[in-house]
Every structure is written in C-alpha cells, then in structure tokens.
Amino acid sequence: MEPTNEPHIGQIVRVNRGRDSGKYAVIIGVVDQRYVWIADGGKRKFDEPKKKNLIHLELLPAISSEVADSLRETGRVTNGKLRFALTQAVNHLSHDAQEKGE
C-alpha cells in the first residue's frame, strides 16, 4: 500500500512527539484533517484513546484490516486485537528493514 498523508482508520503510526515518543499505535478515529484518536491496546486502551495532532505522528504504510473491519462493523475493537495488529505491523516493518540492509 502506498504511503499517504491522509489518516485512515486502522493505520499504524509511530509517535514522534510527547510522552509516547518512539512508540507505535493504531488510528481508531479521525477527528478532522488535523487530529486523530490513537490507541495501542496496552497502556493506551481503546476506551481511553489519545487525541494526537497529525504533525506529531509518522503515518506508516501499514493498515490493519482487522481493526478497520471491526470498527466499521461494531464501532469497537478489542485491546487484544490492537496489540496483535501492532505486533504484526512492527514485525513486518523490522523484517522489511532487515531485508533492505542486507
């Protein structure tokens, strides 16, 4: 999937500013062109997401279809599903980085 400047539900992001700098999260809601709601299923649960300015996030090309589908169908997603999506995406990104380094 091509990188984009538009945030999407289920998209994996890396936090660049603030207390959670360097950590990964999933977009679970889009407020407007400037702000999104993020959660990671661990410290930042689905029921207590963080509102973040997009300029403080790096939008990664990975989008979790499981998270997006769950939110579209029920309006909710489990914290376990968020953690699983992040683990899969981070493992995939680090695997791609290792292949490029070789």
Quick one: how far is CA 86 from the chain centroid?
7
Residue 4 located in a structural domain:
no
Structure confidence at residue 4 as a pLDDT band (50, 70, 90): low
User: Which positions ≥6 away from 85 have C-beta within 8 Å?
Assistant: 10, 12, 26, 64, 66, 67
17-76 residue pLDDT tens: 999 999 999 999 999 999 999 999 999 999 999 999 999 999 999 999 999 999 999 999
- Structural domain range at position 51: 11-101
Q: Is residue 2 part of a domain?
A: no
Q: What is the pLDDT of residues 77-102, one digit of tens each?
A: 999 999 999 999 988 888 877 787 76
**What H or E segment, with its residue span, contains residue 15?**
strand 11-15
What's the CATH number where 96 sits? 2.30.30.140
Instruction: Assess if residue 43 is contained within a domain.
Output: yes
Structural domain count of the chain: 1
Q: Looking at the domain assignment, is residue 1 inside a domain?
A: no
